[in-house]
């Protein structure tokens, strides 16, 4: 996103990477008009790029997105959230025509001249956030940016703006080197890869067997541009984007056998995952196509395309996230069939993504034995047509019968382990009692003051976040810097104060986690917090929200003088949010004052009984304050709505790592200490890079040998002197 500032002189719109989802408007329309003379297409006599650079202006490269990813995203909501009604009213007031799409409003692009002869409705405004994207020029920005542009255009009576007037802050030397390095690596991997048709038939068949795609033809693989990186026998999926369909990145898929003779598949992307926005298969979709099958993996897209001939695209991050920036590219389809996989997780993701895409046009393929993921269905020789036709509409009625629920019930019985949710790796006892972490639930967590509630729940949340659970932290009691420091220490399993040379290594690893923080601190209004949570769920597909803690949110509520009624209202609001957003909410509540020698109970939670009644899970951190020996803390589960199991288990606090779980031992621990990468994706990229270098060195040696042999020939006979 860009923060809009209009500069003096030759009119330029400044693009500044904003550290928040939406920013507050810093200049009123009056101020903009006061500071701005013109915002129009750059005339021939405009200063050249070198002159602009000398003045501190930096010209953005045409056709690229100029934004910088922050070190760690902070989620904030504007004072006046934009609504689709506000957007429509503003567009009507400016006499701007628009089409009401499924998830976006379509308006004529102000960055394309009307004489270009192209579809003018190429600018898409997100109905939920107001962010815009011009598909023709790839210019994007916030709703405030678009308002500024339209106001200045109308005042100056201009027909359009050139995308070249959009500027951005210059990259630092490190950022520029990193971006250039990634582009070189993408080109190096792509140029070193070959098509399946260029491989020997037996080698191609072995690779297809490794990835279970023996039924996918070479023609389909060539059609989608899939290549093979021979040194590691990895599949390479290209990302072509922009007006000229240039190569912007690659995804590498590798197969690896385990000790149990099972095959595991590892994915790696260049650029990194948080900058990888590839709808694989999109370049093959025609402008007149009105139906598409949305899959969770590139191989599934290949299978759907080959079996049905229907347009099919794959999400860049599978079932974990559907970035809103991709929604404009899916607006042309009147029917979207979501076939994201064959398990419960993909089914839940389908229901969540259909809300973003528009329920009325979406249909979902329900997973089951007869409906596995597309690539498995192709391998089993199943007919895709009845599977797609049997997909159920995403929009449902308020009343259903058991006939409609029958398949869902059967799916939960067959996939009991997946239904139980994501398992913890550091807290096996929690797995034994709660069975897992599930979406749509409300967990109430309490414990004595100073017992370590925040420290414990941060590690519990970190454990899930490291497994791909998109997490949003709302810390109202301690600031985000201190919280991030605690979580980074828990992540590294060591005191980084004593190992500062390892800070950058662990910070880079920590930055890759799907972890976000609200910028609130201290007492906050409930509506502002709920709006921010809802916005984060839409933008980042958040699965877990932690609120620390309830008492700090009650200061500005004036619904009634009864503080218990206020608390009940807040708890009810969080309960409704968790259910409607299919998001797990963990709510930390301080207990009532109890005697030091008494253990806390469910009834010890501050307030009325509504907290424990609304909660699906109730966790209590018990502490024996009169005991100083190890084991004085324990975690008790007093309510478990999923299957009723309750229990208690001891916790040992390890001060050096701020963890309540045993440190990782053996080789994994050693690898962390010496600074070797533990992330499988980074390992995969490293292996591919090394293999590419070896291939280049090998080619150079062959070239040198050939040149030497040519220079050593006898000039009289033309024969090789070595042979003579």
Please check the confidence at residue 191 and state whether its pLDDT lies above 60.
yes
Banded pLDDT at 9 (limits 50, 70, 90):
very low
Q: Which parts of 8-134 fold into alpha helices (H)?
A: 29-35, 49-54, 84-93
Please check the confidence at residue 139 and state whether its pLDDT lies above 90.
no
| Cis, bond preceding 200 (omega within 30 deg of 0) | no
Alpha-carbon distance values, 645 to 422, 430, 509 (Å) = 17, 11, 36
**563 compared with 146, residue with greater pLDDT:** 146
pLDDT at 561: 62
CA dihedral of residues 174, 180, 184, 187 (deg, nearest 10): 140
**556 compared with 328, residue with greater pLDDT:** 328
pTM: 0.75
pLDDT at 595: 76
Banded pLDDT at 666 (limits 50, 70, 90):
very low
**55 compared with 714, residue with greater pLDDT:** 714
How many other C-beta atoms lie within 10 A of the C-beta of residue 261?
A: 6
CA 350 to chain centre: 15
Please check the confidence at residue 715 and state whether its pLDDT lies above 60.
no
**491 compared with 141, residue with greater pLDDT:** 491
Banded pLDDT at 701 (limits 50, 70, 90):
low
Can you tell me the distance from the alpha carbon of 305 to that of 289, in angstroms, rounded to the nearest whole number?
A: 14
Average pLDDT over residues 21-46: 34
pLDDT at 642: 92
Banded pLDDT at 27 (limits 50, 70, 90):
very low
Q: Tokens 């049905």 identify what position?
A: 308
Banded pLDDT at 42 (limits 50, 70, 90):
very low
Please check the confidence at residue 225 and state whether its pLDDT lies above 50.
yes
Give pLDDT tens digits for 281-329. 999 999 899 999 999 999 999 999 999 999 999 999 988 899 999 999 9
pLDDT at 408: 79
**63 compared with 164, residue with greater pLDDT:** 164
Give pLDDT tens digits for 489-541. 999 999 999 889 999 999 999 998 999 999 888 788 888 899 999 999 999 99
The chain-wide mean pLDDT, for the chain, equals 79
User: Are the CB atoms for 215 and 379 separated by under 8 Å?
Assistant: yes
Banded pLDDT at 557 (limits 50, 70, 90):
low
3-class DSSP state of 255: strand
pLDDT at 47: 35
Can you tell me the distance from the alpha carbon of 523 to that of 345, in angstroms, rounded to the nearest whole number?
A: 36
Give pLDDT tens digits for 386-438. 999 999 898 766 667 787 778 778 888 888 888 899 999 999 999 999 999 99
Average pLDDT over residues 98-124: 84
pLDDT at 670: 33
The burial of 46, by beta-carbon neighbours within 10 Å (0-12 exposed, 13-18 middle, 19 or more buried), is given as middle
Q: Which two tokens stand for residue 536?
A: 């984060």
**718 compared with 452, residue with greater pLDDT:** 452
Can you tell me the distance from the alpha carbon of 87 to that of 98, in angstroms, rounded to the nearest whole number?
A: 10
Average pLDDT over residues 76-104: 84
pLDDT at 523: 82
Alpha-carbon distance values, 598 to 201, 403, 405, 594, 652 (Å) = 74, 51, 46, 7, 20
The burial of 677, by beta-carbon neighbours within 10 Å (0-12 exposed, 13-18 middle, 19 or more buried), is given as middle
User: Are the CB atoms for 16 and 3 separated by under 8 Å?
Assistant: yes
Please check the confidence at residue 167 and state whether its pLDDT lies above 60.
no
Please check the confidence at residue 130 and state whether its pLDDT lies above 80.
yes
């Amino acid at each position: 996103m860009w923060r809009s500032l209009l500069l003096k002189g030759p009119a330029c719109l400044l693009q500044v990477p904003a550290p928040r989802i939406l920013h507050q408007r810093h200049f009123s329309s009056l101020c903009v008009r006061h500071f701005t003379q013109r915002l129009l297409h750059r005339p021939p006599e405009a200063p050249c790029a070198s002159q602009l650079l000398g003045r501190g202006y930096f010209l953005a490269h045409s056709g690229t997105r100029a934004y910088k990813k922050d070190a760690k995203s902070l989620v904030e909501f504007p004072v006046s959230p934009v609504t689709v009604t506000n957007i429509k009213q503003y567009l009507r007031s400016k006499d701007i025509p628009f089409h009401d799409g499924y998830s976006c409003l379509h308006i004529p692009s102000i960055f394309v001249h009307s004489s270009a002869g192209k579809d003018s409705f190429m600018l898409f405004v997100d109905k939920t956030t107001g962010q815009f994207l011009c598909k023709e020029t790839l210019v994007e920005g916030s709703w405030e940016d678009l308002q500024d542009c339209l106001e200045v255009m109308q005042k100056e009576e201009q027909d359009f703006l050139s995308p070249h007037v959009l500027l951005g802050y210059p990259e630092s030397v490190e950022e520029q080197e990193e971006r250039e390095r990634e582009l070189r690596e993408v080109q190096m991997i792509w140029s070193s890869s070959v098509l399946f048709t260029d491989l020997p038939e037996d080698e191609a068949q072995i690779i297809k067997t490794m990835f279970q795609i023996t039924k996918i033809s070479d023609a389909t693989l060539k059609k989608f541009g899939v290549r093979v990186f021979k040194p590691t026998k990895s599949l390479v999926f290209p990302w072509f984007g922009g007006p000229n369909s240039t190569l912007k990145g690659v995804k590498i898929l590798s197969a690896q056998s385990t000790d149990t003779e099972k095959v595991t598949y590892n994915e790696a992307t260049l650029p990194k995952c948080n900058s990888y926005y590839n709808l694989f298969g999109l370049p093959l979709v025609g402008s007149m196509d009105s139906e598409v099958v949305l899959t969770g993996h590139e191989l599934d897209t290949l299978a759907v395309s080959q079996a049905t001939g229907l347009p099919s695209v794959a999400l860049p991050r599978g079932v974990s996230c559907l970035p809103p920036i991709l929604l404009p590219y899916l607006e042309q389809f009147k029917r979207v069939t979501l076939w994201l996989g064959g398990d419960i997780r993909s089914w839940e993701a389908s229901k969540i993504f259909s809300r973003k895409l528009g329920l009325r046009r979406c249909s979902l393929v329900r997973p089951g034995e007869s409906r596995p993921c597309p690539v498995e269905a192709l391998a089993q020789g199943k007919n895709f047509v009845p599977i797609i036709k049997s997909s159920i509409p995403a929009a449902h009625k308020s009343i259903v019968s058991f006939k409609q629920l029958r398949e869902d019930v059967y799916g939960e019985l067959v996939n009991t382990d997946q239904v139980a949710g994501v398992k913890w790796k550091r807290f096996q006892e929690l797995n034994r009692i709660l069975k897992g972490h599930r979406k749509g639930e409300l967990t109430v967590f309490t414990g004595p003051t100073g017992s370590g509630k925040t420290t414990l729940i941060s590690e519990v949340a970190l454990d899930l976040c490291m497994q791909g659970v998109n997490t949003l932290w709302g810390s109202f009691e301690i600031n985000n810097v201190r919280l991030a420091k605690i979580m980074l220490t828990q992540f590294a399993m060591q005191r980084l104060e004593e190992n500062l040379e390892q800070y950058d290594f662990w910070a880079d690893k920590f930055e890759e986690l799907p972890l976000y923080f609200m910028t609130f601190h201290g007492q906050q209004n409930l509506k502002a917090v709920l709006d921010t949570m809802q916005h984060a769920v839409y933008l980042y597909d958040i699965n877990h929200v932690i609120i620390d803690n309830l008492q700090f949110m009650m200061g500005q509520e004036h619904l009634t003088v009864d503080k218990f009624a206020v608390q009940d209202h807040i708890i009810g609001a969080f309960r409704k949010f968790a259910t409607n957003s299919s998001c797990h909410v963990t709510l930390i509540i301080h207990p009532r004052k109890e005697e030091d020698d008494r253990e806390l109970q469910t009834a010890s939670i501050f307030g009325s009984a509504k907290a424990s009644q609304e909660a699906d899970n109730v966790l209590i951190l018990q502490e024996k304050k009169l005991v100083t020996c190890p084991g004085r803390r324990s975690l008790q589960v007093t309510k478990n709505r999923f299957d009723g199991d309750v229990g208690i288990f001891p916790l040992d606090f390890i001060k050096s790592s701020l963890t309540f779980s045993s440190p990782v031992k053996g080789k994994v621990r050693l690898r962390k200490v010496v600074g070797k990468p533990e992330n499988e994706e980074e390992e995969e990229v490293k292996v591919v890079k090394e293999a590419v270098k070896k291939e280049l060195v090998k080619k150079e040696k062959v070239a040198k040998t050939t040149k030497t042999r040519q220079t050593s020939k006898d000039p009289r006979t033309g024969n090789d002197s070595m042979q003579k």
